[in-house]
Amino acid sequence: MHIDPHYLWREFLRPIILAIFVVLIFRSFFWEPFRIPSGSMEPNLLVGDFIFVSKSRYGYGPFSVPFLSVLMREDIRNGGERLFGKKPKRGDMAVFRKPNDSSDILVKRIVGLPGDQVRIVGGVLEINSRKVERQRESPTLYRETLPNGASYRIQEAFGDNASQDNTPLYQVPNDKYFFLGDNRDNSLDSRFLDNVGFVPYNHLVGPVVRVWFSIDSNKSFPFNVRWDRVLSSTKTIEAKTTSLSRDHVQKESNKENNKESNLGALASDGR
């Protein structure tokens, strides 16, 4: 049986190569998918979330587009410049390459910009000597609102006296950023200067813009799919978690009221 090579190329090989090329372009310059492997960003990003990161939002650097470092001038590659560069915003959830090990990819939240002074006192974040607004929503959850209005939930699993709830004062260098995990008592982030520390501008990959799929590994298919998170933007997820936390607070309040009612009944009964 004779197979025409032109037919093979036209009908099979060319479409496959074209599809691979389109995927590579999409991943390199627009949105790149990542999977959340740990709970350091709970309650906003969950273990098993599949996220999209915008490559164009901060412009293109040597760690957002791997082959770009070969084409960039050395002074740009080693400095704080990016092609079509845009500065990150305080409060962005962003993916970056670990400064002392670029093979390690992390996702945290930007709280400190270049030149800022950052510290945590009694679990409360302070930026440039001003306490960040924090509203309690449940025994372990708070809503934190940064000076620019960015608002999101954080988790304090062990209260406000864990090992990193009281830190020294950090002076963020030029062209570097200070990152924190939303799960404050279970996050390896910029508070650990000998591990993560300050993150250079060029090490940023991009901000998290969407959760496109999510799986709960503790359940079996099809019940393991978190359908309410599929194709959700990060803002939508934070809006949903707000309503959920309010429901939780109401339940906790109802429990406390029931306890008080029961105690009152016992007291009136002479017990």
**Confidence band of 253 (pLDDT split at 50, 70, 90):** very low
Report the distance separating Cα 173 and Cα 262, nearest Å: 57
Please say if 40 is a catalytic residue. yes
Residue 193 lies in a domain: yes
CATH number for position 165:
2.10.109.10
Residue 260 vs residue 63, higher pLDDT: 63
Q: Which of 53-57, 116-120, 217-221 has the lowest mean pLDDT?
A: 217-221
> What pLDDT is stored for residue 68 in this prediction?
58
**Confidence band of 28 (pLDDT split at 50, 70, 90):** low
How many domains, in total, are found in the chain? 1
- Structural domain harbouring 84: 32-255
DSSP string covering 57-120: TT-B-TTTSTTHHHHS-HHHHHTT--BT--PPPTT-EEEEEETTEEEEEEEEEEEE-TT-EEEE
Residue 16 lies in a domain: no
Mean of pLDDT values over 251-257 = 47
Residue 187 vs residue 86, higher pLDDT: 187
Indicate the SS3 state at residue 189: coil
The number of CA neighbours under 13 Å toward the Cβ of 37 is 6
Mean of pLDDT values over 138-167 = 94
Q: What is the mean pLDDT of the chain?
A: 82
Is pLDDT of 59 > 90? no
Residue 188 lies in a domain: yes
Mean of pLDDT values over 34-54 = 96
Q: Which of 54-68, 74-88, 141-155, 228-242 has the lowest mean pLDDT?
A: 74-88
Please say if 214 is a catalytic residue. no
Whole-model pTM: value is: 0.79
Catalytic site residue from 54, 55, 64, 108: 108
> What pLDDT is stored for residue 39 in this prediction?
95
Residue 33 vs residue 13, higher pLDDT: 33
Residue 266 lies in a domain: no
Model pLDDT for residues 78-104, shown as the tens digit of each residue: 555 677 778 999 999 999 999 989 889
Share of the chain above pLDDT 70, in %: 71
Is pLDDT of 18 > 50? yes
Residue 145 lies in a domain: yes
Distances (CA, A) of 200 to 78, 82, 102, 157: 10, 11, 11, 29
Q: What angle do CA 249, 252, 258 make, to 5 degrees?
A: 140
> What pLDDT is stored for residue 222 in this prediction?
82
> What pLDDT is stored for residue 238 in this prediction?
75
Strand 151-155 to 141-145 pairing: antiparallel
Backbone phi and psi for residue 161, each to the nearest 5 degrees, phi listed first:
-130, 30
Is pLDDT of 12 > 80? no
Residue 102 vs residue 268, higher pLDDT: 102
Residue 52 lies in a domain: yes
DSSP state of 13: I
Mean of pLDDT values over 32-49 = 95
What does the block give as tokens for 135? Answer: 């509203």
> What pLDDT is stored for residue 261 in this prediction?
47
Amino acid at position 154, single letter:
I
Residue 67 lies in a domain: yes
Model pLDDT for residues 165-185, shown as the tens digit of each residue: 999 999 999 999 999 999 999
Residue 218 lies in a domain: yes
> What pLDDT is stored for residue 268 in this prediction?
38
Is pLDDT of 248 > 60? no
